[in-house]
Structure 1
Amino acid sequence: MPTENTAIMMGIITREATERVARVAFDLARSRRKKVTIVHKANVLKLTTGLFRTVCREVAQDYPDVTVDDFHIDAMTVHLVRRAQDFDVIVTENMFGDILSDLAGEISGSLGTAPSINASADRAMAQASHGSAPDIAGRNAANPVAMILSGAMLFERLAARHEDPAAAKLAKIIEAGVAEAIASGTSTRDLGGSASTTEFTAAVVKAIEAGAGQR
């Protein structure tokens, strides 16, 4: 703040970091629906997010089997609400990604269902997209889906990094347990149910144990 009435924010986009996150996005797309959407604001932030879009497009050339499109961040919020089913992997910079991830979580039914993982080249940390949710802390009311699935994402990350099929299998078991618990009719209040945090977690554990008997 050069004066008490003026605040300046600097945005830094590097080719190295952009290329790394772009390759993660395209590698992920190959295991999914083979589609990547680049989100930017290159019409206004021409140098910073313009570089981001350019580098992502350059990386895309190494993935000819993946379909690529791009949108400005403001337009993307509209498209995501209107036709979320048309998108799969979205790659963008940090602030835009923070906004879109919360929007995508709510579109899926509740922000409480949105897992996340923060990963560098050699470190990873899993956490729920919604953060600590202090407004319901200590009330046994939080939806644990996001946190449970964040753990599954961490196992997926470890599986890919260490070529460990056991970790990949464990991630699938956790995901299946969550899906089965919800399908059986158990859900927390944000999803229209009445289960507490511990009750839903117990339902997931039960589903996993039941599935273990079939494997």
Structure 2
Amino acid sequence: MIQAATVDVVFPCLDEASALPWVLSRVPEGFRSIVVDNGSTDGSPDIAAAHGALVVREARRGFGAAAHAGLEAATAQIVAFCDADSSMDPADLPRVVDPVLAGEADLVLGRRISTSRGAWPLHARIANLELARRLRALTGLPVHDLGPMRAFRRTEALSLGLEDRRSGYPLELFLRAWSAGWRITEVETGYSPRVGRSKVTGTARGTIQAVTDMTRLLREVRETISKETTP
């Protein structure tokens, strides 16, 4: 059973007032919610606080900036990430956290499985499939999705020295964890249509930006590997 203060759940947030009540009500008992507000103008911070979440404010815009601010604010042994837009059900968090708690994995990724038509825009799905293909080729790991729900140990993640503060943050976490020899695995999690407007991969522009950021990170990692293996 999860004990209090064992797991902190970071929710990067930008104008998610419509989704937050449901999202925060679904967080399992024993998990603490940390909502990182990234400049909302719809009252999201007040709603989060009213539902018992710790609210952290991050002025620098960017998914990675909000995510890392949450990681730094966390105090629990294990940290999980989850989107705040209701596309993923926080009730699935134990499925992602349990392998870390049991010492069976160091990083667990929630592989998104659509629960209904329209949950995953075609352009975002295609981009994700291509990214997963590249990651399998690079790392040899059977990864299929770099989804927004994931779990790991806080101190180990902080030691990775993550630098990206935009949409490349999840990929940098994955790549640095793989480079550090972490045990990485996937579990299936449901994926539903989000509430409100997407700021990242739900739009074509956001997907293009994410692909640009992630392509740059992949290139940098390949260059590093090449230098390390060249006599």
**TM-score by shorter chain over 0.5:** no
Larger Rg: 1
Structure (1/2) with the larger helix percentage? 1
Q: TM-score, normalised by structure 1?
A: 0.30
Question: Larger RCO: Structure 1 or Structure 2 (Cα < 8 Å, ≥ 6 residues apart)?
Answer: 2
